[in-house]
Amino acid sequence: MWKIASGVFLGWSLGANDSANIFGTGVATGAVRYTTAIVLTSIFVLFGALVEGPKCMETVGELSLLSPVDAFCCTLAGGLTMTALTLAALPASSSHAVVGAVIGVGMLSGSADFSRLYRIVVCWVFTPVCALALAYVLFRVLGYLINRTIPSLTSRNTLYRAGILLAGCYGAYTLGANNVANVTGVYVGAALLSAEVASLVGGLSIAAGVLTYSRNVMVTVGKGIAPLGPFSAFVVVLTAAATLHLFTQVGVPVSSSQAVVGAVVGVGMVGDVRTVSQRMLGKIVLGWLLTPVAGGLLAYALLRVFFS
Amino acid sequence: MFLKKLLSHGQKEQKVVDGIEQHIRLLARACELFKGALETGDRKLVEEIVHLERQGDAARRDIIGTIYEGAFLPYLRPNLCKFVENVDHVFDLLQETALYFREVALPENIQDVCVQVAAINREMCDMLLITFQAMLRGEDLREKSLAVRIYEKKVDDIKFDLMADVRRLPVRDFWEGKSVADFLTGITSISDFIEDATDSLQVIHLSMR
């Protein structure tokens, strides 16, 4: 069972990093308190992992033929990469880290299936694009509807509070449903755990990360990218959640960070594209590119050094 | 805690809204009294203005306290507080000007112009309340803001003529001259601060869209 320890570690890192994508904007705009945010996120992440988590498990497990030791190295490499990026307060992608690690290990054993990787990479590319377009449309449509139907300041204040809360809970649910496969999907592929048990273990470890170490990235995501108002925060979280849910149905674990940054850029573009901090976006894109490469190299090195 | 806020159905928000309306009404009443004091020369009315200013201070403290107890999204709170501070600033300036009025003796022609300015200030307070209520209903504020700017422009025009007349006014000593200058600067600056308060309403309105 020690082999799943690295998966628990990766889940913890994912929870610490990606919970920012759910309530980061809500916390930064002051609509939700940090404590409320992490408690709700952890509950709904676990719920999502248990209900829809198994849908994406196969995709990760089938990228390469993995032994239990390979699976251990993959998740350990993914977890170390995620932790490094979390310490640097960058929104990292666990999907990139784990898929990079699985491919790295697969290349060593010669079992890497690049035809499946192609499908995953296409989904990765479409995640921010989808989120950007959806955020732009939602911002326009919902903005128009709310302006027409709820003009009162106090009613709108209540609506935004409730909207950010509900969208955050939905976001946490989809985070658990989509990203639990990154944490324990490799163990299903290596026949160490059943999909249901993997979902439970993954969900609990993500919730632990949310509860213990998520504050830094939450502030970076919320405040560093674009100045968001409460309505924008609501649209961003709703868009990111809908995007993750869409790709969960496709069966591909994608980056919640990519979804949320795409949504933030989409909302920023409605006002003025100059409100989006280019420097911060550059740092995030750099993190995305480095993550799969670092995950792959690290998994390769771990396997060569410790288990050759 | 969060659910409690949602289920309270905006009670704190309503308390803030009621408080702000009360604050503006007090200001309008003080402006009315000041106009009356200028028209009748009754300096006792100044005491009532000072009393209203104290009530205004208490209203401001209540509003800001309720805001920081959790009324409205934190995103909105600084702008709401800024608006309340702007209204309070008008109150302070009005009280200061009323206190100078007790000490100065103005020739009739200048006093008439001052009554005219005080009447405009009073109308601007009404317009401020109308703008605030329109903002609560989510209505377009452009026309109301424009009306306030027109009033302010009127006061500015009067101010330049007034200052030209005042230069010919004989004064006994430095302190008498200073009191007259401070009084006239005060009465003609009140509209500027009411305009600032209206602008901050526009910011609140836009930030929730």
Residue from the list B6, B77, B208 with its beta carbon closest to the beta carbon of A153: B208
CB contact under 8 A, A32 and B2: yes
B163 close to A (CB below 8 A): no
B74 close to A (CB below 8 A): yes
Q: Rg for chain B (alpha carbons), in Å? A: 19
Q: What is the 3-state secondary structure (H, E, C) of chain A?
A: CHHHHHHHHHHHHHHHHHHHHHHHHHHHCCCCCHHHHHHHHHHHHHHHHHHHHHHHHHHHHCCCCCCHHHHHHHHHHHHHHHHHHHHCCCCCCHHHHHHHHHHHHHHHHCCCCHHHHHHHHHHHHHHHHHHHHHHHHHHHHHHHHHHHHCCCHHHHHHHHHHHHHHHHHHHHHHHHHHHHHHHHHHHHHCCCCCHHHHHHHHHHHHHHHHHHCCHHHHHHHHHHCCCCCHHHHHHHHHHHHHHHHHHHHHCCCCCHHHHHHHHHHHHHHHHCHHHCCHHHHHHHHHHHHHHHHHHHHHHHHHHHHHHC
Does the pLDDT of residue A231 top 60, yes or no?
A: yes
Does the pLDDT of residue A292 top 90, yes or no?
A: no
Task: Dig out the tokens for B194 from the structure.
Answer: 């009411």
A149 close to B (CB below 8 A): no
Residue from the list B73, B77, B138 with its beta carbon closest to the beta carbon of A151: B138
Task: Dig out the tokens for B53 from the structure.
Answer: 């200013």
- Chain B interface disruption, residue of A23, A29, A39, A153, most B CBs within 10 A: A153
The SS3 call for residue B134 is helix
| Closest to A214 (Cα-Cα) out of A95, A77, A42, A97 | A42
Classify residue A51 as exposed, middle or buried by CB count within 10 Å of its CB (0-12, 13-18, 19+). Answer: middle
Q: What is the mean pLDDT of chain A?
A: 86
Q: Which of A119-133, A288-302, B7-21 has the highest mean pLDDT?
A: A119-133
**Tens-digit pLDDT profile for residues B29-68:** 999 999 999 999 888 899 999 999 999 999 999 999 999 8
| Cα gap A229→A243, rounded to integer Å | 21
B157 close to A (CB below 8 A): no
| Cα gap B72→B144, rounded to integer Å | 24
Residue from the list A33, A153, A229 with its beta carbon closest to the beta carbon of B75: A229
CB contact under 8 A, A36 and B138: no
Residues 187-206 of B with CB under 8 A from A: 204-205
Cβ neighbours of B77 in A, within 8 Å: 30
A160 close to B (CB below 8 A): yes
Half-sphere exposure of B180 (CA within 13 A, CB side): 20
Contact A295, A6 (CB under 8 A): no
Q: Rg for chain A (alpha carbons), in Å? A: 18
Contact B102, B46 (CB under 8 A): yes
What percentage of chain B reaches a pLDDT higher than 70? 96
Measured N-to-C along each axis, helices A94-109 and A68-87 cross at an angle, to the nearest 10 degrees, of 140
**Tens-digit pLDDT profile for residues A157-183:** 889 889 989 999 999 999 999 999 999
Maximum CA extent, chain B = 68
Residues 132-151 of B with CB under 8 A from A: 135-139
Question: If residue B22 lies in a helix (H) or strand (E), which one and from where to where?
Answer: helix B11-40
CB contact under 8 A, B10 and A157: yes
Q: Which domains does chain B have, with CATH numbers?
A: 9-207 (1.20.58.220)
Contact B121, B175 (CB under 8 A): no
Residue from the list A143, A157, A165 with its beta carbon closest to the beta carbon of B76: A157
Query: What is the rounded (10 degree) CA torsion for B30, B35, B39, B40?
Result: 0
| Cα gap A30→B203, rounded to integer Å | 18
Residue bearing tokens 């600032």: B196
B7 close to A (CB below 8 A): no
For residue B175, the tally of other CB atoms under 10 A from its CB is: 10
Please provide residue A150's backbone torsions phi and psi, each rounded to the nearest 5 degrees: -125, 75
Q: Rounded to two decimals, what is the model's pTM?
A: 0.83
Local confidence band at A218 (pLDDT 50, 70, 90 cut-offs): confident
The pLDDT of residue A273: 64
Query: What is the rounded (10 degree) CA torsion for B121, B127, B128, B130?
Result: 160
The SS3 call for residue B10 is coil
CB contact under 8 A, A154 and B17: yes
Residue from the list B6, B75, B137 with its beta carbon closest to the beta carbon of A29: B75
The pLDDT of residue A261: 81
Local confidence band at B172 (pLDDT 50, 70, 90 cut-offs): confident
CB contact under 8 A, B74 and A30: yes
**Tens-digit pLDDT profile for residues B89-144:** 999 999 999 999 988 888 888 899 999 999 999 999 999 999 999 999 989 899 99
B80 close to A (CB below 8 A): no
**Tens-digit pLDDT profile for residues A123-155:** 988 998 999 999 999 999 999 999 889 888 888
What is the 8-class DSSP label of residue B123?
A: H
Q: Which residue of A has its CA nearest to B12?
A: A154
Task: Dig out the tokens for A161 from the structure.
Answer: 């509070």
The pLDDT of residue A45: 96
Contact residues for A239 (Cβ-Cβ < 8 A; gap 6+): A131, A134, A135, A138, A259, A262, A263, A266
**Tens-digit pLDDT profile for residues A18-48:** 888 888 877 877 778 889 999 999 999 999 9
| Cα gap A150→A153, rounded to integer Å | 8
- Quote the minimal CA–CA distance from A119 to chain B in Å: 39
B170 close to A (CB below 8 A): no
